[in-house]
Amino acid sequence: MKTRYRRPLWILLLLALLLLVAHLALPYVVLNYLNGKLADMGDYRGHIEDVDLAWWRGAYRLNDLVIEKKNEQVQAPLFTTDAVDIGLSWKALWKDQALVGEITLEQPHLNFVDGEEKESSQTGDGVEWRDRLDELMPFTLNELKVVDGQVSFRNFQADPPVHVYASAINASLFNLTNTANQEQGRVARFEGTAQFFNQAPMEASAQFDPYTDWEDFQFSLRVTDVDLTKLNDFSNAYGSFDFAGGTGDLVIEAEAKDAQLDGYIKPLLRNVEVFNFEQDIENEDKGFFRGIWEAVVGGGEEVLQNQRKEQFATRVELNGSTKNADVSPFQAFVAILRNAFVEAFSARFERSLGEDK
């Protein structure tokens, strides 16, 4: 009788021991597996510091994830995040026998870099990220949530270096890996808020088909009450002028169908001051001719300005194709957007001043 009751007890103890060993060993197994997948991703590589498992809620947590370019000529990693929390839905598993999950990125930071050469630029091109995501997280992704994130545009080779950024990003990306639906068309949706240069409120939304390569999407962005002097590094590098004062709003609406881009970028500037004698002519670092150019830009703004309201508005059309043999579709979209942004703040001034003459 005693022997008969001892066997189940030993079996239970053995099972408990095996579960304990699995609980202690599995994080290292998962960590090694993920780091192996991240070590070679085309032009990029990644690393995770450690993994925590939470069995009771069907989740695991990746701590200190870094993705960077292999050639090390770029001075900022493409992506970093303090933690990636990945949770599976027990309800979907038991009810529908389906693996459905959600991902939360805690304090992620995404860096796009514009360099003189391809090797010193960074847009994320060179990796099929959808395939990598499917390898690392082989389940239907209902929602990707961003908590307190930041997106930066940098040019380290400009003098001074350019750093344009949106911080305090709180956003959600829904249905990222849904099965392609020919009738529904776009299936993924993005909604988010942020602060531009830590002070100007931003809101953005997008709809897109994750199974196309920037060929079919809708995108809108609005930012208000920007201190224009914070854009000086950017306008100096790409437009050869800077702001002495003023505030502005910016609205962007863009749509692509079959890789053909359509839309507009529209800035509204208030109390703008581009040309300042003490700042621009007497500043030895800028030089005389740079000061003259800023006087032209400032004069053009004065011609177009609503003198009563002390504000200036323009609209630059977005058009072109996101298909380009030399660059990725995303790079093509960024180039069109950047060129339109520069034109909105400089080229329109110059043309309008010439027309008035």
pLDDT tens string 164-207: 999 999 999 988 764 444 444 557 899 999 999 999 999 999 99
CA distances in angstroms from 330 to 40, 171, 187, 213, 249, listed in the order given: 22, 20, 19, 8, 25
Q: Is the pTM of this model over 0.85?
A: no
How many CB atoms are located within 10 Å of the residue 238 CB? 19
Q: What is the mean pLDDT of the chain?
A: 76
- pLDDT for position 283: 53
Provide the greatest CA pair distance for the chain: 110
Element (H, E) at 288: helix 288-304
Residue 70 DSSP symbol: T
How far is 163 from 183, CA to CA, in rounded Å?
41
Tokens in use for 194? 């942020």
- pLDDT for position 313: 73
pLDDT of 319 higher than 50: yes
pLDDT tens string 108-131: 999 999 988 878 888 887 787 877
pLDDT of 18 higher than 70: no
Reported confidence tier of residue 287, pLDDT bands at 50, 70, 90:
very low
50: left (phi over 0), alpha (psi -120 to 50) or beta: beta
pLDDT tens string 218-267: 989 999 999 999 999 998 888 777 888 889 898 889 888 888 888 888 88
pLDDT tens string 66-77: 999 988 788 899
How many CB atoms are located within 10 Å of the residue 163 CB? 17
How far is 232 from 217, CA to CA, in rounded Å?
31
